[in-house]
Amino acid sequence: MLLFTLTASAGTEAVTADGKAVILNDDGTWVLKPTEAAPVEAVEVSSDCSVLTKTETDRMTGRTTTHMMKALMLSDDGNDGLAIDVLRASNVTIWSTRAFGASACVDDTSKVNILFRDGTRLEMENDISFNCEHDLATFYGGIFGKKSQYEQLSTKEIDMLRVWTHEGFVERTLSAEQATLLRNSFACLSPQVEV
């Protein structure tokens, strides 16, 4: 039930009966229209890497891995949502995501859509194989490259994430504190920085 429509170059804008702004695509799908970015208050989150990260050494191999101090949980009810960890091993940094609330299975072609607070967008591809463990991961640095993507993650704050699974997606909005924490963690775990 649409009350009002406007033609736009990227599709048709419409307002639903309950007042939500949507964009109708030519293929019959629709998405919520992005809202104008509201000013975000500055949030005090440490940029001290010794506070944001921890390093663990495998006693058997002697290899070290540096992680976020604690995985970032994005959940309204403690069950459905996203768990995000960023870690660096050797010269590769890994964005690891577990998505709960859609299919447990994740395709090797699944994607993560990011809307930054400045209105720009980024789409990341899953770099691991099909699994039914809720897991997606994207690799940066070394043979994987993606320097410009990583630069965005370490300098911009994320407003919203949509993580695609085999049958659907899980989407969450980050608080100002969560966005700053994730950005600062990416800056600390850059694949160019040696442990």
Tokens of 188: 């600390």
* Mean pLDDT taken over the chain: 83
Lowest mean pLDDT among 3-12, 20-29, 163-172, 182-191: 3-12
Higher-confidence position of 190 and 47: 190
Tokens of 23: 């964009």
User: pTM for this structure?
Assistant: 0.70
Query: Residue 36 pLDDT more than 70?
Result: no
**Least-confidence region, from 27-31, 38-42, 129-133, 179-183:** 38-42
> Residue 152: what pLDDT?
95
Averaged pLDDT, 40-45: 54
